[in-house]
Amino acid sequence: MQREEKQLDSALEAIIMRVNDLKSTIAAMIFKVEHEYETLNWPNFLDNFALISGHLTSLSKILSHDKAPNLRNLTVLPLHLSPEKDEELLRMTEGRISTFAHDLVPDYLRTKPDPLVEQKMLTYETKVASLTYDASHKQVAQYNKVINHVWDIANKAREEWESETSSRATQAQTSNSADTHLLVYAVGNGKGLKSDTVQMVQGVGNSIGSNMMVGRAGGQSQTSSQGPLAGQMTKAPSTIKTNIKAASQIHPYTR
């Protein structure tokens, strides 16, 4: 019993190492496809694919070795289920699994695909097996034709967009963004208007006060320095003369 357990532990350790190598290789390949697609060529892609194929071959050799235990006869059973977060489980799974709850265990410990997925895979495998070489070759050619057509449409749209961008850049500028911002601030917030308005009102008052002449007796004039209200506060001389006594003497109804 101890010998079998030791063989199982050593086999699992070797399998985990190979799986980690395979995972790192796949991750590197995905990174190149997503971030280095402009410089990635077909020979480099084939080299990465060859590395993945080599790791898969090494993993299959370990599984098919005579001293390796038959993993098909072993069953993985959960010993403890908890909906709370498990830091150790999170560390072991590299941040992928945080809880080992009742609703997640069937998906984590599944040894077969989902029934719907398995049914679709069987349908695709049957369809592929029924295709002939000529039919598959025609489908591949048609697929390449569709991809080339989409590629041409994308390139044409890109060229049109670049031409429009360049034409917009060459047009003469008809506005000033700084002046536009100042105008918007002045209308919306009154920025730049308060001090200028006060100065303008003061200037108008001074000019009115300096040009107002107040008349006095003897025909003399004097410049008022009391501002625009000085003329209003000074009483103007009246030109209408009244003589009540004289009017009473010429009354026609005397006794």
Assess whether 1 and 60 both reside in one domain.
yes
Assess whether 129 and 140 both reside in one domain.
yes
Q: Is the residue at 243 inside a domain?
A: no
Gap between the Cα atoms of 61 and 55, Å rounded: 10
User: Could you tell me if 56 and 79 are in contact, meaning their C-beta atoms sit under 8 angstroms apart?
Assistant: no
**CA dihedral sign, ordered 177, 181, 187, 190:** negative
Q: How many domains does the chain have?
A: 3
Q: 141 pLDDT band (50/70/90 cuts)?
A: very high
- Chain segment 65-99, per-residue pLDDT in tens: 877 778 878 888 888 888 888 888 888 888 888 88
Q: Is the residue at 200 inside a domain?
A: no
Assess whether 63 and 48 both reside in one domain.
yes
Assess whether 61 and 128 both reside in one domain.
no
Assess whether 10 and 65 both reside in one domain.
yes
Residue with tokens 């390949």: 29
Q: Is the residue at 244 inside a domain?
A: no
Q: Is the residue at 31 inside a domain?
A: yes
pLDDT of amino acid 149: 94
Which of 120-124, 184-188, 200-204 has the lowest average pLDDT?
200-204
- Chain segment 146-192, per-residue pLDDT in tens: 999 999 999 999 998 888 877 776 666 677 888 888 888 788 777 77
Assess whether 49 and 60 both reside in one domain.
yes
Q: 108 pLDDT band (50/70/90 cuts)?
A: confident
Q: 223 pLDDT band (50/70/90 cuts)?
A: very low
- Domain at 1, CATH number: 1.20.58
Q: Is the residue at 21 inside a domain?
A: yes
**Cβ neighbours of residue 106 closer than 8 Å, sequence gap 6 or more:** none
Assess whether 21 and 51 both reside in one domain.
yes
Q: Is the residue at 137 inside a domain?
A: yes
Assess whether 153 and 105 both reside in one domain.
no
Assess whether 4 and 45 both reside in one domain.
yes
Q: 253 pLDDT band (50/70/90 cuts)?
A: low
* Segments forming the whole domain that contains residue 141: 113-159
Q: Is the residue at 20 inside a domain?
A: yes
Neighbouring C-alpha atoms within 13 Å toward the C-beta of 47: 7
The reply to whether the predicted model has a pTM over 0.75 is: no
User: Could you tell me if 101 and 81 are in contact, meaning their C-beta atoms sit under 8 angstroms apart?
Assistant: yes
